[in-house]
């Protein structure tokens, strides 16, 4: 059985398919997550690529991507009994700041996510790991909404 890693906060979103925790194929969703996520998983089903665990980034990042991923993951869990695991995106971008808004970025310092300002345009490059480290994922599946409500 395969395992899937979804990084919805990457631009473009990344998906890795793992067998025995080793990356066997990587995919880039070229269109918006809302337009391509369901069709990607439908294609997996057509190709008879079965999976029983979904690992995903639950933040920080685009609220829309986080909400969509959470709802999609919960749907897979309820309808197909897929086990869910989530973690923050800093594990997949070499712990570089993640764009929030304007000149603000999310940074991961001392085990906490903080909002920082920077005059530099920081580029956060995500990458799928060649080996899936399940120890960095936990059971806190809800999106990491860091910013206060407006």
For the chain, the structural domain boundaries read: 2-93+125-136
> How does pLDDT run across 34-72, given as a tens digit for each residue?
999 999 999 999 999 999 999 999 999 888 999 999 999
Contacts of 93 (CB under 8 A, 6+ apart): 10, 124, 125, 126, 127
Of the ranges 10-14, 97-101, 115-119, the best mean pLDDT one: 10-14
The pair of structure tokens assigned to 105 is: 């970025």
Residue pair 34/67 in contact by the 8 Å Cβ criterion:
no
Residue 87: C-alpha distances to residues 13, 139, 146 (Å): 16, 9, 14
Q: Which CATH class is domain 2-93+125-136?
A: alpha beta
- Number of Cβ within 10 Å of residue 23's Cβ equals 15
pLDDT-derived band at 149 (thresholds 50, 70, 90) equals: low
Q: What is the DSSP string of the chain?
A: -EEEEEETTSSS-EEEEEETTEEEEEEE--S-HHHHHHHHHHHHHHTT--EEEEEEE--SS-HHHHHHHHHHHHHHHHHH--EEEEE-GGGGTTT--EEEETTEEEEEETTEEEEEE-SS---------SB--GGG-BS--S----SPP-
Residue 137 pLDDT greater than 60, yes or no: yes
What's the pTM? 0.94
């Amino acid at each position: 059985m395969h395992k899937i890693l979804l990084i919805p906060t990457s631009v473009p979103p990344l998906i890795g398919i793992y067998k025995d925790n080793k990356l066997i194929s990587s995919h880039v969703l070229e269109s918006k997550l809302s337009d391509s996520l369901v069709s990607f998983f439908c294609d997996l089903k057509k190709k008879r690529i079965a999976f029983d665990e979904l690992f995903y980034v639950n933040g920080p990042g685009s609220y829309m991507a986080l909400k969509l991923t959470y709802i999609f993951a919960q749907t897979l869990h309820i309808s197909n009994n897929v086990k869910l695991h989530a973690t923050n995106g800093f594990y997949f971008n070499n712990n570089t700041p993640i764009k929030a808004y304007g000149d603000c970025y999310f940074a991961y310092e001392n085990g906490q996510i903080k909002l920082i300002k920077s005059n530099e345009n920081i580029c956060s490059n995500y990458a799928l790991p060649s080996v899936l480290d399940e120890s960095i994922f936990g059971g806190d599946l809800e999106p990491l909404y860091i910013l206060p409500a407006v």
